[in-house]
Amino acid sequence: MTKIPVGILGATGMVGQQYIALLAGHPWFEVRYVAASPRSAGKSYCDAVAGRWQPARAWGAGVGDLIVKDANDPSAAVGNCAFVFSALDMAKDKIRALEDSYAGAGIPLISNASAHRWTPDVPVLIAEVNPQHIDIIPAQQKARGWSKGFIVVKPNCSIQSYTTPVYALIAAGYEVRRMIVSTMQAVSGAGYPGVPSLDMIDNIVPYIGGEEEKSEDEPRKILGMLADGVIQNATLPKISAHCNRVPVVDGHTACVSLEFGEKKPSITEVKRVWSAFSALPQELDLPMAPKRPIIVRDEDNRPQPRKDRDADKAMAVSVGRVRGCKVFDLRFVGLSHNTVRGAAGGGIENAELLKVKGYIS
Amino acid sequence: MTKIPVGILGATGMVGQQYIALLAGHPWFEVRYVAASPRSAGKSYCDAVAGRWQPARAWGAGVGDLIVKDANDPSAAVGNCAFVFSALDMAKDKIRALEDSYAGAGIPLISNASAHRWTPDVPVLIAEVNPQHIDIIPAQQKARGWSKGFIVVKPNCSIQSYTTPVYALIAAGYEVRRMIVSTMQAVSGAGYPGVPSLDMIDNIVPYIGGEEEKSEDEPRKILGMLADGVIQNATLPKISAHCNRVPVVDGHTACVSLEFGEKKPSITEVKRVWSAFSALPQELDLPMAPKRPIIVRDEDNRPQPRKDRDADKAMAVSVGRVRGCKVFDLRFVGLSHNTVRGAAGGGIENAELLKVKGYIS
Amino acid sequence: MTKIPVGILGATGMVGQQYIALLAGHPWFEVRYVAASPRSAGKSYCDAVAGRWQPARAWGAGVGDLIVKDANDPSAAVGNCAFVFSALDMAKDKIRALEDSYAGAGIPLISNASAHRWTPDVPVLIAEVNPQHIDIIPAQQKARGWSKGFIVVKPNCSIQSYTTPVYALIAAGYEVRRMIVSTMQAVSGAGYPGVPSLDMIDNIVPYIGGEEEKSEDEPRKILGMLADGVIQNATLPKISAHCNRVPVVDGHTACVSLEFGEKKPSITEVKRVWSAFSALPQELDLPMAPKRPIIVRDEDNRPQPRKDRDADKAMAVSVGRVRGCKVFDLRFVGLSHNTVRGAAGGGIENAELLKVKGYIS
Amino acid sequence: MTKIPVGILGATGMVGQQYIALLAGHPWFEVRYVAASPRSAGKSYCDAVAGRWQPARAWGAGVGDLIVKDANDPSAAVGNCAFVFSALDMAKDKIRALEDSYAGAGIPLISNASAHRWTPDVPVLIAEVNPQHIDIIPAQQKARGWSKGFIVVKPNCSIQSYTTPVYALIAAGYEVRRMIVSTMQAVSGAGYPGVPSLDMIDNIVPYIGGEEEKSEDEPRKILGMLADGVIQNATLPKISAHCNRVPVVDGHTACVSLEFGEKKPSITEVKRVWSAFSALPQELDLPMAPKRPIIVRDEDNRPQPRKDRDADKAMAVSVGRVRGCKVFDLRFVGLSHNTVRGAAGGGIENAELLKVKGYIS
C-alpha cells in the first residue's frame, strides 16, 4: 500500500518536530514536504533543526534530506503532499490568512494554531468527542468556494485533561452545569526556549497568558451542535479556569470540580462510565487512537505527570481521585500529554478520522 | 528587661528547628529549654541536630549548649521555662495526652500539632483573624482544673494563604458562601526527609494525606464565635479543597474561587479592603506581626513562591490575580510561607499576643 | 522455543522491578520466580508492589500472579528457575552469604549487589569490556565445590559512563595512565524513597556515601587479567573520582580528564575509535546489547541526561565534548542510563552472554 | 557623613539590579545615577524595571524615581556620580570602547564585563587575593592620558569558588602546580530569561559557552605580579576546567583536584590555612567584606548551594570535603554565590577598597 504524502508547516518548531517524530513509521501517512520560515527555507531539514531537535524519537527515513520550503508559499506544496499539518508560529491574523490560502490551493489543512478556532464553520476536533463536526466540511468548502481544500483545527492542550471525561458523562446522560478547574501545566506547552528556568526552579507561575479564556470557552464549541452550516456553541457547562505553570516537562494536570444538573451519578457510576467509554476512533481502530480513551486510576496519589502522561502512546487521558465535593457534586484530577494527546498526536488522530471518512486521500 | 524563658517540645524536628531559628534575637522571648524524643535526650542541642539543621539562620546564643530533655516528662520543664511551643511528632492521641500534661503541670502550651484543633474549648488561633478566641482560656482552665497552664493551637499551614483574605472580606461586611480552592504546596510542609525527590523531579503529586479535610474544615472553627465556654463553628463558607504537592521548597500557593452572598464587592473594592486590612497584632505592634498582613500584587504573574514567600519577615500573605469568575464571583491567588507564617512564625505571633494580653509572663 | 525460567531476588525493590520490567517480552528469558523479604512473602507480586511500581513499562504476562517467596530460602528456588538475578538490599555480609547459598544450591546467580565485587574469583562483568572473565567460572565452582551454581556480578552504575570508552581506547593500543572524574548522578541510583526532595530542589549534594571508592577501584578489576584462577587487578589507570548527586531522575553524567602513556591519540582518532567500537555482545547480536556501545555526539552541549539516556534501549554510552586538556591529554563527557545500562539492563546482557557461552541453560 | 554618589551602567539588567539591591543602605555609597540602553532611557527606574525586578531585596530610597539615562553618553554621568559600576550587556568591542570613554571623562569605572579582563594594565580584582594590583592605576592613567578616571574589573563568577582557597595555600607557601576543576553552575549566571526550563528540568547541560577558557585563564592574571606598569600573568597553576549548568538558582559549586609542588601540606594543615585566612579587606573591615573569607565545613555532604551560598552576606567561599587524591594531592569542593560574591558583591567590595586607598572619593 502506498502511503499518503503529508506536509508539515512550521516543521522546524517544537510542535512541527513532534508531528514529524510521531509520524515516523506511521502505517498510512508519510512526511514528504516540510515548510517553515524563509530563514530555514532552502536548507535540508537535517541542517535546519541541527542542535534544536527536541523529541526523544528520531524522524522517519528520508525526512532529514527534505529541502525546507517557505511556508508562505502554498503553491510549493501543491502536488507534493495530499494534506498538511499546520504548526505555524506567527501573528494570528497572518496564520489565518495563510491557512486559508493553503485550503484555497486545494490542500486540506489540519491546524494546531488557535487562529481559526472561533471561525463558526471550522470544526475544533477531538476525535473521541465531536467526530460528527467534520460533516461541516462540505458547507465550509461551499461557503468559501474551495474545492478540495478545507480546514480542521484541534483545541488548546489545556482542555484535553478534562473535556473528554466531561463529555463521557454528558454522553451517558448527566448534564454538567458548572465547572471550576485549576490546571498545573508543563513547560513544553510554551515551546523552546519558552519558560525561563529562573521561573521554574523552586517556583511556580500562577499565570499563562490567554490560557484561561481558551480553557473556559473552547469546550463549549466542541460540545456544540451542527446546524445551518455552522457549529452552534453549547451554553453549558459554564467553566472557570485557573491556569498555572509548574516545573514539569510534559503533561498537563487539571483539578476539576463539577456541578451536575438534576440527575447526579454516584462515584461508582462515574468510574464505570469513564472506564467503559469508547468512541468512533476506537470503533474504527485508528492507528493513533488509544485503546481506552480514559484510564481510571484508583490509587490515592495518581495520576502524576511523569508516571501517567505516556499511557497508551501518550494518547489516553488518565483520571483519578474521583470523589465527592462539599461545594459541587464531583471532584477529580485529569491528566493528558500536552504535546501528544494535546497537540501533534491529536492532530494525527484527526487526520486518520478524516482519511477513513474520505475527506483525505 | 529580662526575657521570658521559652521551651521547645520536639526541638530537633524541622518545625522545632524553625522555632529556634526564628526566636534568635527575639526581643521578648529566649529559648532556655529544649525537649525531644528519648533518643536525643541527654545530648547537647548542638550534637542532637548535627548534620540535620535545616534553617538558613543560626540558633541564638546559648541554645547549642542546652541539654536536650525527654519531652515525655513535663516535670523537667517546670521552673525552666514560662511556656512551651509544641512541635511534637507522634501519634495524635499521644500528643493530645502529653500536651494536656504540660498544661496540667502549669505550663502554657502553644501547639503546632493538629491533636487539639477540634477540642471545642481550645482556640485555633490566627492572631489577625480571631484574637478574641483567647478569651476562652479561663473557661478552658476551669473546666480542666488547670491553674496557670492552658493550650492554644495554630491551624494547618495550607489554609493560611486564603483564610486571612477571606476573613478581611467578611469583616468588611461581605458574606462568603462557598469557596473552591486548589493548592500547590511546598515540600517543606512534609518535613525531612519527607517527599522523595523521585516524586518531585519533572512531576507533581495531586494528593496530600489528610490535607483536604483540614483545608476545608479548620477555617470554620477560626471564623466561629465564643459562646457558653466553647467555640461554635461557623457554618459558612462551605469549602472544597484540592491539595497538590509541587517542587517548591517553601511557600504554599492557593487558587481560590469565591461565591459571595447578596452583597458583592467590586474587584476594586476587594483590593481596597485587602490593602487596608489591619488587625490587633498590627495595632499592638507585635514583634513578629507583619506591617501589612495582606499584600496585593498587581502584576499579571504574581504571587510566586520563590519571589513572594519572604515578604515582611515571611509573615505577610501575598495575593494577586484578583479578577472575576464565570462560575462564582471572585478569583484570586494567595500565597504564604508555610513554615513561617504557617507554622513557627504564626506560633510566635500567637505567643506575643498572649503575652500582651497577660496570659503569659 | 521454550523460554528459560528466571528468578528475581529482591523482586519488590526498585532494581528488582526494573529487571522485571525489562524482561517483559524478552526472547530467551521469562520471569517465573520472585523472592523478597519475609514481609512480602506469601503475597502475589501484584499485591506486594501495589502503589510502589516505579518503571514506566508494565511487567510481563503472569508475573503479577506469582506468589512472592522468602528470598532467604534458596531451596524454594530450586526447580523453579534456571538462574536468578540478585537485587537484594541487605547488609553486605548477609548478601554475600545468601548469594553463596544460592550458588551452592546449584543456581547460577547474576548479582547487582556490591557484596562479591572484590571476591577474587568472581567476575565483575561489563559484557563489552571483559567477557573473557566468565572463563573463571569453572575455577570458581571447583574452589567452592559448586557443581552448577556460580556467581557473576555487575559493577557500580557510576563507572559505566566512562569505563567502556576508556577500555575502547586501551583496546586500540593507547595506555591510559591517570584519570580525574567528576560525576553528576541521578537520584534513581539511591532507590525509593531515596534522596529527599528538600535536598534536590534548587540544590545539589557533592557527596554520595561509598561511591567515590567504587568509582575509583572497580574499573581496575574489570580491566584485570585472568591468571591462576583469579582475576588480577590492573594497576592502571589510577582514578580519582568526585561523585555528586543532582536533580535528574535517570542518567549518570561524568566529566573525565585522561592522561595517556607515551602514545597519544588525536581527538579525531579518539572519536574514530569510539564510533567504530564493537565487542562480543554485538558480534553475538545479544538481544539486550546496543548496536553501537558508544555513541559519539558532536554537538557542543551533549550528551544531556534527559535527551541521551535512552539511546539504543538505554544501553549505549553517549560521549561528547571530546577535546584536549591543559593539564592532561583528553577531556570528554560520558553519560549512561544508571538503572538500565548501569543495573538491570547490564545484568540481563550479562545473562545473555552466559547463555550463549553455555553457562546458563 | 555625606555618602559618595554612585552610578550604575546597565542598571536595568540582572547584574545592575543586583548592584542596586546590595547598595540599599550601604554606609558609604548611594546610587544617584542609573543608565541603560536607549530603550529604557527617559523612564523612571521604577517604570524601567516594572515586572522585571529579580532581587529578593528592594532598591534603596529614591532609586525608583531616578530617570534612566542613555548609557552610551558618559557626559551625562559627569557631575552626577563619583564613580560607576558597569554591568553593560553589549558586544565586547563596544563595551571596551564605552568603558574607556567613561574613564576618559574622568569617571572611575568598576566593571563586571569581561571586555577589559585581558588588558595588561587593567587589574582583575578579588579584594582578598590581589589588592596590590590596584597600584597599577597611576600607570594605567598615565599611559592613556586619563586624569581621574580609571578601570578596574572583576573576574568571572565561575573562578570564585576555588581561586581564593588556592591563593590562601599559595600565600601559606605551598606551590600549586596543576588543577583539574569541574563546576556545577547556577542558572542566574546566564541572566534572564537565560537558560530555558526545558533544559533544566530532569537535566543538566555539560557546556557553557566561553566559560571553561575564563575559568582556566583568569586566575593566572589575578595571581600575577605587577612589573613595568603591567600585570605579568603567573605561569602556574595550570588549570583544566569542565563547566556544567545545573538546576540551581544561585551558587556555583566546584569539584577541585590540586597538585602541589615539592612541599605538600597535610589535610589538617590545609584546613588550618583556610580557616585562618584573612586579608586586607578583613583588616580594613570593609563593609561588604566577609568576616571569614573561607569557611571550612566538616560535614560529609557540604557545601551545598541552597544551604551555604548565603554565608556571611553571601560573600564567603565555603569549602568542604577536604581530602586526599589518588591522582593529585588534594581534593575539595568549593562554593560561592555567583551574583553576590561572584558579581555585584565582589564589585562593591572592590569599590570599598578603592575608596579606602584614596582612588575614589
- Residues A196 and D192: beta-carbon distance below 8 Å: yes
Q: What is the 3-state secondary structure (H, E, C) of D194-257?
A: CCEHHHCCCCCECCCCCHHHHHHHHHHHHCCEEECCEEECCCCCEEEEEEEECCCCCCEEEEEE
Q: Which residues of B touch D202 (CB under 8 A)?
A: 201-202
Q: Which residues of A touch B242 (CB under 8 A)?
A: 182, 255, 257, 331, 333
Q: Which residues of A touch C249 (CB under 8 A)?
A: 306
Q: What is the DSSP letter of A3?
A: P
Q: What is the DSSP letter of C67?
A: B
Q: Is C227 exposed, middle or buried (0-12, 13-18, 19+ CB in 10 A)?
A: exposed
Characterise A128 by phi-psi region: left (phi > 0), alpha (psi -120 to 50), beta (else). alpha
> Which residue type occupies B47?
D
- Does the distance separating the beta carbons of B199 and C197 come in below 8 Å? yes
Q: Which residues of D touch B202 (CB under 8 A)?
A: 201-202
- Does the distance separating the beta carbons of B56 and D310 come in below 8 Å? yes
Which chains pack against D, by 3+ Cβ pairs within 8 A? Answer: A, B, C
DSSP D36-56: E-TTTTTSBHHHHTTTT---S
Closest CB to D244 among C178, C184, C199? C184
The residue among C197, C207, C208, C248 with the most chain B CBs within 10 A of its CB, best to mutate, is: C197
- Residues C299 and A51: beta-carbon distance below 8 Å: yes
Bridge-based pairing of strands D151-153 and D109-111 is: parallel
Instruction: Say whether C157 is catalytic.
Output: yes
- Tell me, yes or no, if C246 comes closer than 8 A to chain D by beta carbon: yes
- pLDDT band for position A51 (50/70/90)? confident
B26, B116, B133, B252: which one is catalytic?
A: B252
* A250 CA: distance to closest CA in chain D (Å): 10
- Does the distance separating the beta carbons of A201 and D196 come in below 8 Å? no
Q: Which residues of B touch D299 (CB under 8 A)?
A: 51
The percentage of residues in chain B with a pLDDT greater than 90, rounded to a whole number, is 94
- Residues C103 and C77: beta-carbon distance below 8 Å: no
Bridge-based pairing of strands C29-36 and C4-9 is: parallel
pLDDT 10s digits, A304-356: 999 999 999 999 999 999 999 999 999 999 999 999 999 999 999 999 999 99
* D321 CA: distance to closest CA in chain B (Å): 14
| Cis bond before residue A237 (omega within 30° of 0) | yes
* A350 CA: distance to closest CA in chain C (Å): 27
Q: What is the DSSP letter of A341?
A: I
For A145, B82, B107, B108, the CA distances from B6, given in Å and listed in that order, are: 84, 6, 10, 10
Strand ranges, E, within C76-216: 83-86, 109-111, 151-153, 176-185
The residue ranges of every structural domain in chain C are: 4-156+344-356, 158-337
CATH of domain D158-337: 3.30.360.10
* B305 CA: distance to closest CA in chain A (Å): 6
- Residues C339 and C108: beta-carbon distance below 8 Å: no
Which chains pack against A, by 3+ Cβ pairs within 8 A? Answer: B, C, D
Stretch B269-275: mean pLDDT: 98
- Tell me, yes or no, if D326 comes closer than 8 A to chain C by beta carbon: yes
The complex scores an ipTM of 0.95
Distance CA C248, CA C200 (A): 9
* C257 CA: distance to closest CA in chain D (Å): 8
- Tell me, yes or no, if D142 comes closer than 8 A to chain B by beta carbon: no
* CB-side neighbour CA atoms (13 Å) of A307: 23
Closest CA relative to residue C218, chosen from C89, C87, C356, C346: C346
B157, B242, B243, B325: which one is catalytic?
A: B157
Residue in chain B nearest D314 by alpha carbon: B56
Q: Which residues of B touch A211 (CB under 8 A)?
A: none
- 3-class secondary-structure state, position A199: helix
CATH superfamily membership of A4-156+344-356: NAD(P)-binding Rossmann-like Domain (3.40.50.720)
* D188 CA: distance to closest CA in chain A (Å): 7
- Does the distance separating the beta carbons of C301 and A51 come in below 8 Å? yes
Tell me what pLDDT residue C230 has: 87
- Tell me, yes or no, if A300 comes closer than 8 A to chain B by beta carbon: yes
Distance CA D88, CA C148 (A): 73
The size of chain A, in residues, is 361
* Structural Rg of chain D based on CA atoms: 20
- Does the distance separating the beta carbons of D201 and A196 come in below 8 Å? no
- Residues A353 and A284: beta-carbon distance below 8 Å: yes
Sheet architecture: strand order including A238-245: A238-245, A176-185, A252-260, A330-336, A317-323, A294-296
> Which residue type occupies D247?
P
Closest CB to A51 among C201, C299, C310? C299
Tell me what pLDDT residue C229 has: 81
* CB-side neighbour CA atoms (13 Å) of B295: 21
- Tell me, yes or no, if A63 comes closer than 8 A to chain D by beta carbon: no
- Tell me, yes or no, if D90 comes closer than 8 A to chain A by beta carbon: no
- Does the distance separating the beta carbons of C187 and B201 come in below 8 Å? yes
- Does the distance separating the beta carbons of C240 and D321 come in below 8 Å? no
Global confidence as pTM: 0.96
pLDDT 10s digits, D218-234: 999 999 999 888 899 99
Which chains pack against C, by 3+ Cβ pairs within 8 A? Answer: A, B, D
Tell me what pLDDT residue D57 has: 85
The residue among A192, A195, A201 with the most chain D CBs within 10 A of its CB, best to mutate, is: A201
Q: What is the 3-state secondary structure (H, E, C) of B150-199?
A: CEEECCCHHHHHHHHHHHHHHHCCCCEEEEEEEEEECHHHHCCCCCEHHH
- Does the distance separating the beta carbons of C192 and B247 come in below 8 Å? no
Per-position pLDDT tens, chain D of length 361: 699 999 999 999 999 999 999 999 999 999 999 999 999 999 999 999 988 888 888 899 999 999 999 999 999 999 999 999 999 989 999 999 999 999 999 999 999 999 999 999 999 999 999 999 999 999 999 999 999 999 999 999 999 999 999 999 999 999 999 999 999 999 999 998 999 999 999 999 999 999 999 999 999 999 999 988 889 999 999 999 999 999 999 999 999 999 999 999 999 999 999 999 999 999 999 999 999 999 999 999 999 999 999 999 999 999 999 999 999 999 999 999 999 999 999 999 999 999 999 999 9
The residue among A192, A291, A307 with the most chain C CBs within 10 A of its CB, best to mutate, is: A307
Q: Which residues of A touch D202 (CB under 8 A)?
A: 249
Residue found under cell 575509535? C273
- pLDDT band for position A228 (50/70/90)? confident
* C330 CA: distance to closest CA in chain D (Å): 10
In the CATH hierarchy, which fold is given to the domain comprising B157-337?
Answer: Dihydrodipicolinate Reductase; domain 2 (3.30.360)
Distance CA C78, CA A104 (A): 73
- 3-class secondary-structure state, position D319: strand
Q: What is the mean pLDDT of chain B?
A: 96
* B309 CA: distance to closest CA in chain D (Å): 10
Q: What is the mean pLDDT of chain A?
A: 96
For A14, A21, B198, C186, C347, the CA distances from A251, given in Å and listed in that order, are: 15, 18, 16, 21, 32
The residue among C162, C188, C202, C331 with the most chain D CBs within 10 A of its CB, best to mutate, is: C202
pLDDT 10s digits, C91-133: 999 999 999 999 999 999 999 999 999 999 999 999 999 999 9
- pLDDT below 70 — which residues of chain C? 1
Tell me what pLDDT residue A229 has: 81
- Tell me, yes or no, if D220 comes closer than 8 A to chain C by beta carbon: no
- Tell me, yes or no, if B306 comes closer than 8 A to chain A by beta carbon: yes
Q: What is the DSSP letter of C270?
A: H
pLDDT 10s digits, D60-113: 999 999 999 999 999 999 999 999 999 998 999 999 999 999 999 999 999 999
Interface C-D: count of C-beta contacts within 8 A:
125
The percentage of residues in chain A with a pLDDT greater than 70, rounded to a whole number, is 100
pLDDT 10s digits, D134-164: 999 999 999 999 999 999 999 999 999 999 9
- Tell me, yes or no, if D247 comes closer than 8 A to chain A by beta carbon: yes
- Residues C163 and C129: beta-carbon distance below 8 Å: yes
